[in-house]
Amino acid sequence: MEELQKLILAQGEVINDEIIKVDSFINHQIDPVLMDKIGKNFAAQFKEQKVTKVATIESSGIAPALMTAKELNVPLIILKKEPSKYLNSDLYQTEVYSFTHQKNYELTVSQKYISEDDHILLIDDFLADGEAAVGALRLFHKAHATTAGVGVIINKVFQPGETKLKELGIDVVSLVKIKSLTNKTITFD
C-alpha cells in the first residue's frame, strides 16, 4: 500500500533498530479513512477463504480488524491480554511473550465465541517476532477452529514472525514490509 508507506515515512518515528512508532495514525490516534482502506484491502485479499470470523489481539489491532470484519460481513472477536476478574470461566487461554513490552501475558478468548465451525482470519497492526500471532493460533486450535490466514499492516521482515507463521503453513498478507530500521532509516522490502 503506497499510501501507507508514505504515511510511515512522513509520520513514523524510528525508536531503534527494531522498533518504529506509528501512533499518530495506527495505534494511538487512528485515521478512520486509512482503516477503512486497510479493511477493504484485507477483505479483498481473503475473500475466497470463506472467513467466518475475524480476530485480533487487543488493542492496536481492533481498528483494522473491525473494518476487515465489516467488509467481510462477519463478527470480530477480540482476544484479551488478561482474563476478566469476573468472567474468567469457560476461557481458552495461552501464555504469550510480548516483544514490545518485554513480558509474558495471558491471552484469552471466551469459549462462547469460537468453535470448530469457525475459519478465522487474524488481523494485527504489526508482525515482529510472531509470538502474539502464534499464541492466537494456539487459541484457535484449542477450539478446533481453523485459520484462514494472518493479515498485518506492518511486517518487520527482519524479525522472525513471518517465517514462524509460514513454517506453520499459515498464509500471511502484509500491507507494508519493512526490511530494516538501521540507523533510524526506514527501508521497505
Domain ranges of the chain: 31-181
| Mean pLDDT over the full length of the chain | 94
Residue stretches of the annotated binding site for xanthine: 27, 156
According to DSSP, the β-strands at 119-127 and 146-156 are parallel
**9 and 173 in contact (C-beta within 8 Å)?**
no
pLDDT on residue 83? 67
Contact yes or no for 150/127 (Cβ under 8 A): yes
For residues 146 and 6, give the distance between their C-alpha atoms in angstroms, rounded to a whole number: 35
Terminal Cα distance for the chain, rounded: 12
CATH topology of domain 31-181: Rossmann fold (3.40.50)
Q: Are 46 and 149 in contact (CB under 8 A)?
A: yes
Q: Which residue, chain included where needed, has cell 525508536? A: 15
pLDDT digits (tens, 9 = 90+) for 29-48: 999 999 999 999 999 999 99
What b-and-e string marks burial along 27-55, b requiring 16 or more CB atoms within 10 Å of the CB?
beeeeeebbebbbebbbebbeebebbbbb
Q: What is the pTM of this model?
A: 0.94
Summarised one tens digit per residue, pLDDT across range 108-142 is 999 999 999 999 999 999 999 999 999 999 999 99
Nearest to 140, CA basis, from 92, 72, 98: 92
Q: pLDDT by residue (tens digit) across 117-126?
A: 999 999 999 9
**Binding residue numbers for 5-phospho-alpha-D-ribose 1-diphosphate:** 128-132
* Residue 23 CB contacts under 8 Å (≥ 6 apart), including other chains: 29
Q: Where are the alpha helices (DSSP H) in the chain?
A: 2-11, 32-46, 62-72, 131-142, 161-167
> What pLDDT band is residue 82 in, cutting at 50, 70 and 90?
confident
pLDDT digits (tens, 9 = 90+) for 144-166: 999 999 999 999 999 999 999 99
Residue list for the binding site: 27, 128-132, 156
